[in-house]
């Protein structure tokens, strides 16, 4: 898909089609991180720190309870 920038006051804006926003689960209130690798513009939803912490805690609990079994299954 090729898009062109549009004028928005004194700035430029990129219109992202709704189907793409839906696939990425991005809404109007989703904070976005904008980065570049020097050639490309990278736009990513900001990771929810609370959700990440809950995931890490759950992962640690599973590893504590089933770690030996998981290692045996993996190798």
Q: How far apart are CA 74 and CA 21, in angstroms?
A: 37
Instruction: Determine the pLDDT at residue 45.
Output: 86
Which CATH code, of 2.10.260, 2.60.120, 3.30.200, 3.40.50, is assigned to 6-74?
A: 2.10.260
Q: Give the per-residue pLDDT at 52.
A: 78
Q: List, as own/partner pairs, every contact residues 25-29 make where C-beta atoms lie below 8 angstroms and the sequence separation is at least 24, other chains included.
A: none
CA dist 73 and 71 (Å) reads: 5
**pLDDT score of 4:** 95
Can you give the pLDDT at residue 34? 93
Torsion angles phi and psi, residue 42, rounded to 5: -120, 120
Tens digit of pLDDT at every position of the chain (75 positions) = 899 999 999 999 999 999 999 998 899 988 899 999 999 999 988 877 787 788 889 999 999 999 999 989 997
Q: What angle do CA 39, 42, 45 make, to 5 degrees?
A: 175
- Tell me, yes or no, if the pTM score tops 0.75: no
Separation CA 22–CA 30 (nearest Å): 12
């Amino acid at each position: 898909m090729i898009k062109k920038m549009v004028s928005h006051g004194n700035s430029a804006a990129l219109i992202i089609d709704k189907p793409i926003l839906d696939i990425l689960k991005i809404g109007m209130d989703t904070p976005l991180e904008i980065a570049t690798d020097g050639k490309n513009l990278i736009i990513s939803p900001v990771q929810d720190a609370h959700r990440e912490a809950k995931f890490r805690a759950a992962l640690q609990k599973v590893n504590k309870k089933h770690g030996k079994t998981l290692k045996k299954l993996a190798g």
